[in-house]
Structure 1
Amino acid sequence: MSKPTLTDLRAFMAVAEHRSFRLAADLLGMTRSSLSHAIRGLEDKLGARLLHRTTRSVSVTEAGERLLNRLDPLLHDLDTALEEVAGAHGQLQGRLRINGNEAAIRLLLQTVVPTFLARYPGVELDLVAEGRLVDIVGQGFDAGIRLGEAVPKDMVAVRLGPDIRFLAVASPDYLAGHPAPKVPDALAGHQCIRQRLPSGKRYRWEFSKRGQSLEIDVPGALTLDNSQLMVEAAVAGTGIAYVPEPYARAALDDGRLVAILEDWCPRIPGLFIYFSRNRHAPASLRAFIDAIREAAEK
């Protein structure tokens, strides 16, 4: 029996972990037909079926589970050894995939990415900005970036930035014709710029003060799904928007917007980068987190 190659074994692990030939092929930089051929060849060499395949799903056989359980720690130790040698000489290689919301990816591009790529030219950064919260492991990402309250509890999380708050904001022109509300319930008498969440639901504005918390389904003739567009609509005098403070900061500083209900807008945990505690964190991810920490100290 010819022995399986390391490439064969990594191909099997990718398919077994992600339960998808398409996703595994994309991550490995292979065509699906080449990956399928490699898996068939591995099964022939071992004389055992490792994967159950249908047109809709992929699952691991009992023999495949046994192999996967033995391979995982072995390849983890091998990867660690190789990464330590390469990292010691500034020669990290490979692709680092990170999923985050638009604000998080924009922050990385401004503060971390240029320095990181200059330091590690062998690493390819694949940054995906999307509003919906995804299963980073199932979708093949090395890490995710979200507000602290949205990070799954079973993940390792590293703070990316300071606490933030959502602010209710409106233009001086709007407030000239509509006196600013003093309490959240008074929003019922205003035109509000509502927000559509990635799930399709409308966001209920959340307020808190001295232990009292409120969630309000505000009225309004305009609904948007992008915080930056909501800020622009508020600047134009369309109504009151409720957005993360960084989006509105420039317009607040130059007077195009005014913050209202500030005492009802407490700070919440800011952005965190997170990854699975059950999977090996590649050296490129550890280096990226170090770069984030360096940027935060400046």
Structure 2
Amino acid sequence: MPSEPPVLPSRLGGNVADGEAGQHAGTGPEALFSLRNRLALVTGSSRGIGLVLAAGLARHGAAVVLNGRHRPTLEEAAGTLEGAGARVHVRPFDVADPDAAEAGIAAVEREIGPLDILVNNAGLQHRAPLENFPAAEWERLRRTNLDSVLFMGQAAARRMIGRGRGKIINIASVQSELARPNIAPYGATKGAVKMLTRGMATEWARHGLQVNAIAPGYFATELNRALVEDAEFTAWLARRTPAGRWGRTEELVGAAVFLASDASSFVNGHLLAVDGGITACL
């Protein structure tokens, strides 16, 4: 099933101005999940899950920085969010390049404000029998799915540590825990994201950072188009998943807001599965 476009209210509070990013939103019950006056960067956010997550963070008050490699698609995505009332910035750079990641984060902090939230969402898939899996595709998967998490996490943490606060959310997968034919290298990268998340939390929690991961199950996205259109696979998935269906991308927003907000102030190194129960049962 196709994913629905992100929906935002017509007005959002808490646009980030100079010196505002990172301030706490207050002490009332709504403030626990408020992202007002926070600045969030979401990688791979020109479409799909990344764009939906960016829209969700904006809906809860954050100003968002969209990142990808192609400015035109980012500008189009930004226009959609701006039309719904969000404050959006666009910064195209290659998150799998350590120098570009450092320069990109530095530019965001210099030109927009201190980064409060980093969502490492950039990722790709390639399906092939493992015995014939191309070496070039393995390299591409590793750089995009894993190297980018390390390089962006390092660049953000170097600045967050000095401020004594920060949220890093890595997008893992149910393939961080489960294997399926023809995607072993993808699963390997996502398993590594799980352990890198725990390593980041182990080293950076004492500096006031919370580093966690979201493990989506099977969601109807462009990345999964071939499976969504495969009636046999969809029928299998409905039987295998306790919820009995594909996930809707907007169902990931709650997890992201929780991990990005003060509500998760003592949650660290956690892999939060949003999967309809597929990892809970045989």
**TM-score scaled to structure 2, two decimals?**
0.28
Higher strand content, 1 or 2? 1
Higher helix content, 1 or 2? 2
**TM-score scaled to structure 1, two decimals?**
0.27
